[in-house]
Amino acid sequence: MFAQEPIEWPEKVEILVDRLEHELAERSLSREERALMDVYETVPVLESEDGLHGFWQSGVNHQRIINSFDLIGAATLVDPLNASRWCETRSEDRQDYSETEEDYLATIEEDLAAGLDELVDLVLDFIEEELT
């Protein structure tokens, strides 16, 4: 099973996300703003015990989320997301994976963890370049 230490978002990110959540009721978000929200909202799913399996079993628009990670410059997360796409067609219970599937997913999740470690810096750079 996957277990990732939760990302601690800097105050700058938290304030911007709160502002965007409030503005969402009044206007449509730009593609860049939506990408930031997608990333922020998806990280807890990726950090959960079910990791990539949980992401693919969730009801989100998977391709939009992958595109959002790509837009903010997180290619190190796009690759594991795409490599684990097969999880979408699997049973809802990760315990049903074969040993080979579980080993393969664990390898992909090692790459995911490395990408998550870089994510805060990428998000801060994205905010600086695209949203300010």
pLDDT tens profile 45-72: 999 888 999 999 998 999 999 999 999 9
Q: What is the DSSP letter of 87?
A: G
Domain extent, residue 103, equals 29-131
> What is this structure's pTM?
0.91
Q: In the chain, how many domains are there?
A: 1
Residue 8 lies in a domain: no
**For the segment 16-37, what is each residue's pLDDT rounded down to a tens digit?**
999 999 998 899 999 999 999 9
Residue 17 lies in a domain: no
Residue 7 lies in a domain: no
Residue 13 lies in a domain: no
